[in-house]
């Protein structure tokens, strides 16, 4: 066993003050399918990775920050990013910035979820890696 064998994230966990508000956001605003759900674990499937919502309490609460501090990067094709922006605005999401070409080879747009986590939808610029 070696850390070099890690090849992808199996899941990412967001610890939420209001898990139901986060559930509504990721299910109805972002349109992610729920793969598994119980009272303290709501798992959405995003490609091969699970996005898990958990309440901000429990056994590790004293080791976690009170304020969620996660940024999620969600990749789309370059020709889809403007449509994502318009769809999120139509669903009432307050956008932090419109799609913008960045110097590091991405076109990005930013917004936050109900827990204050930063979400980025990005696409590689045409001609860049994967673009």
Tens-digit pLDDT profile for residues 69-113:
687 888 888 999 999 999 999 999 989 989 999 888 899 999 989
- Give yes or no: residues 41 and 98 share one domain: no
Q: What is the pLDDT of residues 112-127, one digit of tens each?
A: 898 888 888 888 899 8
Report long-range pairs for 5-11 (Cβ below 8 Å, ≥24 apart): 8/48, 8/49, 9/49, 10/49, 10/50, 11/43, 11/49, 11/50, 11/51, 11/52
The CATH number that applies at residue 126 is 3.10.180.10
- Give yes or no: residues 89 and 126 share one domain: yes
Whether 3 maps to a domain, the answer reads: no
- Give yes or no: residues 88 and 29 share one domain: no
Task: Read off the pLDDT of each residue in 48-53 and give the average, rounded to a whole number.
Answer: 90
Task: Using the predicted structure, report yes or no on whether residue 8 has a pLDDT greater than 70.
Answer: no
Give the domain extent around 40. Answer: 9-59
> What is the sign, positive or negative, of the torsion defined by CA atoms of 93, 17, 44, 107?
positive
Report the percentage of the chain scoring pLDDT > 90. Answer: 40
- Give yes or no: residues 98 and 123 share one domain: yes
- Give yes or no: residues 55 and 108 share one domain: no
| Number of folded domains that form the chain | 2
């Amino acid at each position: 066993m070696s850390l070099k064998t890690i090849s992808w994230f199996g899941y990412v966990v967001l610890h939420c003050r209001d898990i139901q508000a986060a559930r509504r956001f990721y299910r109805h605003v972002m349109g992610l399918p729920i793969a598994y759900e119980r009272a303290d674990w709501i798992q959405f499937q995003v490609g091969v990775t699970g996005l898990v919502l958990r309440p901000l309490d429990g056994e590790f609460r004293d080791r976690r920050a009170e304020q969620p501090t996660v940024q999620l990067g969600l990749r789309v094709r370059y020709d889809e990013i403007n449509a994502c922006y318009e769809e999120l605005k139509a669903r009432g999401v307050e956008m932090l910035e419109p799609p913008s070409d960045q110097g590091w080879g991405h076109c990005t747009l930013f917004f936050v979820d109900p827990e204050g986590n930063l979400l980025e939808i990005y696409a590689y610029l045409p001609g860049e890696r994967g673009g």
